[in-house]
Structure 1
């Protein structure tokens, strides 16, 4: 597998609200370090970076506009040359101009990282794959939280993460670690 020169890094929801304790236990405690490794590589190689920020429609959300949760974490502050997409639902393509931005720039390959694996990462990766983008998801550069399944069974963040990646791999995206992505280009 080869990482193309114009592959876009899609960095999802690295806002202060995602760090709120009420979201519960999470997995991948080093995910942000892996995200920052990829971000540094993309910036060093002058590849396109698109930051995706969530502005919720729900006042109960940690991403409700007008409060500190929507502010970007300083370590993920977008550069002036980088793209920014603001979404209101988990899927970064829904109701935004993300597809238009990518297609007009001739970008056909995406590397998706961020949170939450089973929410914004999975929904964005599914749409990207359905739209025909060569989509990669960095399994160690995303994370999620403990969650009950449909039947009320408690699932750990690691289980939720693994199932979400299993849903994506081979059908919508190629799932791999950051080390392998960096080796690809």
Structure 2
């Protein structure tokens, strides 16, 4: 089993793990193990005193999005909500209305740099949307981005020209683009857990 080297102050960035993603609005998803893997990573981070960033997507009130402010879907899923504030290390809540967690409030890049963080581990929802966008921007900003592909999920999607792709196909495309393009190291949850325990 490979072990991914995890820095002592690596930040876990938990993206948009919100109740609204459980609604039928999105369609069919992949990776039923995502929530369990996300929970395991949060627990390891909190036990080790590493920083954890919780990101929440706030769609505008009045929109059709299940993530809209004032709707129950805007809330974190229970397993995330019950873990907030339980860690031994620093914690940050970032709210955003676009794909990248680096375009939220407060300024994630400034917070990370202020804490001397050079490595981020991205988990959450959706693999090919907010997770991928945050990873690409993180790579552009100079962070060592670790992307445990089994600690996230996405949904089937229709695009132009009648093209469609399953959630699994989109996940593989994201993994190849990020890893092959040098934006992030795509790994497994187990590799990250082993790396975090090695410190």
What's the TM-score bracket when you normalise by the shorter of the two chains? Answer: over 0.9
Deviation (angstroms), 1:112? 0.1
Where do 1:125-136 residues align within 5 Å?
A: 125-136=135-146
Secondary structure of the equivalent of 1:28? coil
> Whose helix fraction is larger, Structure 1's or Structure 2's?
2
Deviation (angstroms), 1:91? 0.5
Deviation (angstroms), 1:95? 4.2
Q: Distance in 1 between matches of 2:161 and 2:50?
A: 43
Secondary structure of the equivalent of 2:43? helix
Q: Distance in 1 between matches of 2:5 and 2:166?
A: 33
1:87 aligns with 2:96: yes
Q: Aligned residue for 2:154?
A: 144
Q: Distance in 1 between matches of 2:187 and 2:63?
A: 35
Could you say if the C-alpha distance between residues 49 and 59 of structure 1 is closer, same or farther in structure 2, counting changes exceeding 3 Å? same
RMSD (Å) for aligned C-alpha atoms:
1.3
1:37 aligns with 2:40: yes
Secondary structure of the equivalent of 2:122? strand
TM-score, with structure 1 as normaliser: 0.95
Q: Aligned residue for 2:191?
A: 180
Deviation (angstroms), 1:61? 0.8
Q: Distance in 1 between matches of 2:139 and 2:126?
A: 18
Which runs of structure 1 show a deviation greater than 6 angstroms over 4 or more consecutive aligned residues? Answer: none
Unmatched runs of 5 consecutive residues or more in structure 1: none
Q: Aligned residue for 1:119?
A: 129
1:2 aligns with 2:27: no
- Whether the 8 Å contact between 2:11 and 2:117 is mirrored in structure 1 is yes
Q: Distance in 2 between matches of 1:161 and 1:135?
A: 17
